[in-house]
Chain A
């Protein structure tokens, strides 16, 4: 009788221990999963942030590259300043630059002053247009940054510097 009671108590103890072990294992498994999910989401965030940073750096690098930048054509050297006249000439000779930049397309779109029509710039209509597309294809999933788009304007026979607000957009293949 006493043995049976002791056996039952021992079984109960074993059960208790099993439950305890199960609970601890479950707890650690859940905690581990939580930590893993947290770490992975952090990793995804930093990967997308890095991609965005790379693209933005590429946009800034492009804006200040000799092919696009104003240089000293509009006074002192300026940051994020694009020479529209130079870009139009680049657009006309773009076949010489195939594979020069690791991008799918480059577009410069005027923001201000606002124009009612959405017209692509060509040699025929320049400067009465509102966007310059460097490669003759559509732009997709673009990264962009603000730039000033400068050109030489003329009024009553007088030449002056005209800078407008624009966005330099880059379709980037992420390599």
Chain B
């Protein structure tokens, strides 16, 4: 009789254990379903790259102090003058003017200071897989906002890439 009691008690505890395990499994499945649903939702970009796009658009139109025989050149024309290894009317190298102008524009537009969210920026102008200009300021972090723009002139393709690091 005592043996039978012991058997019943052990069976009951086994049942309880199975019940407990079942609850854990059900809870785990529910959690997994929740996790799956939340991960399946498309990740929305909280910060758009309008600013970076506009920055590239705006600096390409900037009138530099490099003059050819006709006019003061906007940055877009200065890039092609730099690619063709030409000089400004006053004898300065077009690439030097481009580099210094873009560095100054970058520094004034994207201020890297203590207490500001911006940590650094990176501007590259690439033509036919050759880097024409590479300007790096501040630190490169994992969070960035970037944009790139391509344009062509007389068979030359130019890619401008700008990244702002936060």
Size of chain B's interface in residues, with CB distance under 8 A? 26
Whether B54 is near chain A, meaning CB under 8 Å from some CB there, is: yes
Q: A162-B63, A164-B63 are in contact. Are A49 and B108 (CB under 8 A)?
A: no
Complex-state Cα separation, A27 to B30, whole angstroms: 12
Nearest CB in chain B: distance from A115 CB, A: 11
Whether B23 is near chain A, meaning CB under 8 Å from some CB there, is: yes
Residues of A120-175 whose CB lies within 8 A of B: 145-148, 150, 160-166
Nearest CB in chain B: distance from A24 CB, A: 7
Complex interface: chain A residues within 8 A of B108 (CB): 111-112, 114, 165
Report the nearest B residue to A56, measured CB to CB.
B50
Complex interface: chain A residues within 8 A of B74 (CB): 161, 163
Whether A84 is near chain B, meaning CB under 8 Å from some CB there, is: no
Interface string of B63-84 (1 = CB under 8 A from A): 1000000011010000000000
The answer on a CB contact under 8 Å between A60 and B71 is: no
Across the interface, B54 reaches (CB within 8 A) one of A53, A60, A162, namely: A60
The answer on a CB contact under 8 Å between A78 and B61 is: yes
The answer on a CB contact under 8 Å between A146 and B46 is: no
Complex interface: chain A residues within 8 A of B54 (CB): 60, 80, 145-147
Q: A56-B48, A146-B55, A160-B72 are in contact. Are A165 and B109 (CB under 8 A)?
A: yes
Residues of B109-166 whose CB lies within 8 A of A: 109
Q: A112-B108, A165-B108 are in contact. Are A35 and B62 (CB under 8 A)?
A: no
The answer on a CB contact under 8 Å between B61 and A150 is: yes
Complex interface: chain A residues within 8 A of B27 (CB): 27
Complex-state Cα separation, A162 to B71, whole angstroms: 10
Complex interface: chain B residues within 8 A of A24 (CB): 23
Complex interface: chain B residues within 8 A of A87 (CB): none
Whether A81 is near chain B, meaning CB under 8 Å from some CB there, is: yes
Complex interface: chain A residues within 8 A of B90 (CB): none
The answer on a CB contact under 8 Å between B58 and A146 is: yes
Q: A162-B72, A163-B74 are in contact. Are A148 and B61 (CB under 8 A)?
A: yes
Residues of A22-45 whose CB lies within 8 A of B: 24, 27, 31, 35, 38, 45
Q: 12 other contacts beyond A80-B54, A148-B58, with CB at 8 A cut-off?
A: A24-B23, A31-B31, A52-B47, A60-B54, A74-B61, A79-B57, A80-B57, A145-B50, A145-B54, A146-B57, A163-B62, A164-B62
Spell out B's residues near A (CB within 8 Å). Answer: 23, 27, 31, 34, 38, 44, 46-48, 50-51, 54-55, 57-59, 61-63, 71-72, 74, 104-105, 108-109
5 CB < 8 A contacts A-B: A49-B46, A79-B57, A148-B58, A148-B62, A164-B62
